[in-house]
Amino acid sequence: MGWKSKLSLLLLVGLICFLIIPAGNTIGNGKRIVRIAHSQSEKHPEHIGLLAFKKHVEEKLGDKFEVQIFPNELLGGQKKAIELTQTGAIDFIVVGCPNVETIASVYEVFSMPYLFASQKAYFDTMRDEAYMKKIYTSTDEAGFRVMTWYNAGIRSFYAKEKIEKPEDMQGMKLRVQQSPASIAMVNAFGAAATPMSFGEVYTAIQQGVIDGAENNELAITNNKHGEVAKYYSYTNHQMIPDVLMANLRFLQSLSPEEQEVFAEAARLSTDVELEAWDKEVENAKKIAQEEMGVTFVNVDMTPFRAQVLELHKEMLAKNPNIRDIYEHIQTINARDTGAKE
């Protein structure tokens, strides 16, 4: 048996052991195990933020809790991990908003192209804790509670060929997330939207199944997509946060004092992740340019924005649950735009 087969077997055995030992079990010293699952590597800003979460909880409540973090989809892809979180086998999960849409439809708003007028408007919206609390509790009925948000960057297109205007996308096959808004957006640009697992993107571009994809800069380096797609065009079409989502029963089992410690840990993890994100993006761009030969292309976003603004009306008509937050964001957009003038 080769080393890859042995590694796969070990991971499988580990996963089986995890699944047959329910969350909430205590270890030998009586501490309650708290499990957190996410899809990224140990070097990713979200993992760094979660390490700060772990440190805070264990410093304040180390006699009661031990936090265990499972990166790299070790406990399954996001959809599977969401199911495990709902059952209580996992206590917390970091998940992209498109995967929360099926739980609470209000999260569909974040997939709306050109929703935010600027990154400042995006940050101001997400930092409005009083308003966002209404959004975070919208998952309660399904047994989840969103604790905080993480910056997942600004999404742009990257491909084998340079994209400078919407016409350049005619006939291209581009990978998108499993989100109706993202699919409609790419189709509106004249390309063929191709939803697929993120882990399949590298091979799909390499083999010509697709011509490119859309994501933030870290996908170019961390996932090595820059080896097969040499042009990254700053269309800046979406700003979609990831969220830290908890099993609601677990939160309700905590004392008020313990709940506050976990809430503090969540807020701290966001602060750490935001700082780490900015540093990692700059590093990713440097590596992509100098070691992978990727060209970063600044484009005029005006024609891209004009081509998809009708989607706003369509989404608002189909999903009234997003209207309030949409109008709230437009108020922030107007305020931030006015501040620049």
Confidence of residue 2 (pLDDT cuts 50, 70, 90): low
Question: Mean per-residue pLDDT for 1-28?
Answer: 49
pLDDT of 26 over the 70 cut = no
Please report which residue ranges of the chain form alpha helices under DSSP H. Answer: 3-20, 45-61, 78-87, 119-126, 129-136, 180-188, 201-206, 218-221, 248-253, 256-291, 302-308, 310-318, 323-340
Question: Mean per-residue pLDDT for 210-235?
Answer: 96
- Residue 229: phi and psi, rounded to 5, are -130, 110
Nearest to 239 by CA among 125, 332, 338: 125
Q: Both tokens of residue 53?
A: 């979460």
The answer on 179 and 275 residing in a single domain is no
Residue at 4 is within a domain? no
User: Looking at residue 198, what is its pLDDT?
Assistant: 83
Residue at 185 is within a domain? yes
**CATH code, domain carrying 38:** 3.40.190.170
Question: What is the length of the chain?
Answer: 341
Do residues 123 and 313 touch, judged by C-beta distance below 8 A? no
User: Looking at residue 24, what is its pLDDT?
Assistant: 57
User: Looking at residue 246, what is its pLDDT?
Assistant: 98
The answer on 172 and 139 residing in a single domain is no
CB-based burial label for 137 (10 Å; 0-12, 13-18, 19+): middle
Percent with pLDDT over 70 in the chain = 91
The structure's pTM equals 0.87
Helix, coil or strand: residue 301: coil
Residue 179 to residues 38, 109, 272, 284: CA-CA distances in angstroms?
19, 11, 28, 26
Task: Quote the number of domains for the chain.
Answer: 2
User: Looking at residue 7, what is its pLDDT?
Assistant: 43
Look at 27 and 171; give whichever has higher pLDDT: 171
Question: Mean per-residue pLDDT for 321-341?
Answer: 87
User: Looking at residue 23, what is its pLDDT?
Assistant: 53
Question: pLDDT (tens digit, 9 = 90+) per residue, 101-148?
Answer: 989 999 999 999 999 999 999 999 999 999 999 999 999 999 999 999
Nearest to 158 by CA among 112, 227, 108, 101: 227
The answer on 161 and 139 residing in a single domain is no
The answer on 76 and 30 residing in a single domain is yes
Residue at 7 is within a domain? no
Give CA angle at 97 (324, 297), nearest 5°: 100
Query: What is the C-alpha separation between 65 and 26, in angstroms, rounded?
Result: 9
Residue at 332 is within a domain? yes
pLDDT of 256 over the 50 cut = yes
Element (H, E) at 193: strand 192-195
Look at 254 and 11; give whichever has higher pLDDT: 254
The answer on 87 and 187 residing in a single domain is no
DSSP letters for 123-172: HHHHT-HHHHHHHHGGGGGGTEEEEEEE----EEEEESS---SGGGGTT-
Give CA angle at 85 (101, 24), nearest 5°: 160
User: Looking at residue 4, what is its pLDDT?
Assistant: 43
Question: Mean per-residue pLDDT for 231-246?
Answer: 97
Name the residue range of residue 254's domain: 20-100+135-151+242-281
User: Looking at residue 294, what is its pLDDT?
Assistant: 98
CB-based contacts of 175, cutoff 8 Å, min separation 6: 194, 195, 196, 201, 204, 210, 212, 213, 214
The answer on 305 and 186 residing in a single domain is yes
Residue at a domain's end among 265, 281, 297: 281
Question: Mean per-residue pLDDT for 214-243?
Answer: 96
Confidence of residue 20 (pLDDT cuts 50, 70, 90): very low
Confidence of residue 27 (pLDDT cuts 50, 70, 90): low
User: Looking at residue 214, what is its pLDDT?
Assistant: 97
Residue at 116 is within a domain? no
Nearest to 57 by CA among 73, 34, 29: 34
Least confident of 153-162, 190-199, 258-267: 190-199
Nearest to 21 by CA among 66, 84, 73, 94: 84
Residue at 6 is within a domain? no
The answer on 319 and 252 residing in a single domain is no
User: Looking at residue 261, what is its pLDDT?
Assistant: 98
